[in-house]
Amino acid sequence: MAITDRQNPNAEEKKKLFKLCPFFWQRRTTTASSSKPSFARSILPARRRLRLDPSSYLYFPYEAGKQVRSAIKLKNTSKSHTAFKFQTTAPKSCYMRPPGGVLAPGESVFATVFKFVEHPENNEKHKLNKKSKAKFKIMSLKVKPGVEFVPELFDEQKDQVIVERVLRVIFLDADRPSAALEKLKRQLDEAEAEAEAAVEVRKKPPPETGPRVVGEGLVIDEWKERREKYLARQQVDSIDSSS
């Protein structure tokens, strides 16, 4: 049986259209290919601006009925000034110092987290090294140099806010040595030293930029003082020359 070749009429029409208007097909192909990367970029997660240590959990020593501390180090790894802010699901039992701030490129800061540990229900022993229900969310926002931190920044620019990480709470046995507990102690010492250094800086008087103040509100203008001395010398010289 002889098989006859049948050409697709649609293919023939496309060939004719391509000969008549080749630029239309070229533009259509280019547009379709260029739309793929933009779509891919839209679904990619935003690049983080901060490096956290620890990066996934906040470790607390377990001491029932007491307020305990944890520490976390934040470093700005971006090329711009970055504001950061803490949020927690347990605001009644947790708070942070500082609750937020602004970091220059490459700058780092230690934040101390305080948490009140409740007694276990029904006198049951609390399960250590287990995740707690409390969570801490750390957010970041790109800001201009010189901008000071206020919580309203994150409300005014919600579209630019990045959730850096959601940290879970893990309790450690305070009586049993461990690598995580030793690291926590080191970070708490560093955070305390950093806070004390910041207090000392605030205690220092600002540099003098104007006239010196002596006594109770007495302002001494250096140029006026020099002029009075000069006039006094001129008066002495005139007396000596007349005598």
Q: Distances from the Cα of 50 to the Cαs of 173, 238, 243, in angstroms?
A: 29, 74, 81
At residue 38, the pLDDT reads: 46
Name the band, by pLDDT with cuts 50, 70 and 90, for residue 60: very high
Instruction: Give Cα separations from 166 to 73, 141, 163, 229 (angstroms).
Output: 15, 16, 8, 69
Strand stretches in the chain, DSSP E: 50-53, 57-62, 67-76, 82-88, 94-97, 100-103, 108-116, 131-142, 162-173, 212-214, 218-220
Collapsing DSSP states into helix, strand and coil, what is residue 91? Answer: coil
Domain boundaries, the chain: 50-202
Res. 132: pLDDT tops 90: no
- Inform me whether the pLDDT recorded for 39 exceeds 50: no
Tell me which fold the domain 50-202 belongs to.
Answer: Immunoglobulin-like (2.60.40)
Find the mean pLDDT for residues 204-221: 56
pTM, entire model = 0.63
Q: 187 or 9, which is more confident?
A: 187
d(CA 194, CA 173): 26
User: For 75-86, how does the pLDDT look when each residue is reduced to its tens digit (9 = 90+)?
Assistant: 999 999 999 999
Strands 94-97 and 108-116 turn out to be antiparallel
Kindly tell me if the per-residue pLDDT of 160 is higher than 80.
Answer: yes
Residue 57 has pLDDT above 60, yes or no: yes
pLDDT confidence of 19, banded at 50, 70, 90? low
Q: Read off the pLDDT of each residue in 3-24 and give the average, rounded to a whole number.
A: 54
Q: Tell me what the pLDDT averaged over the chain comes to.
A: 78
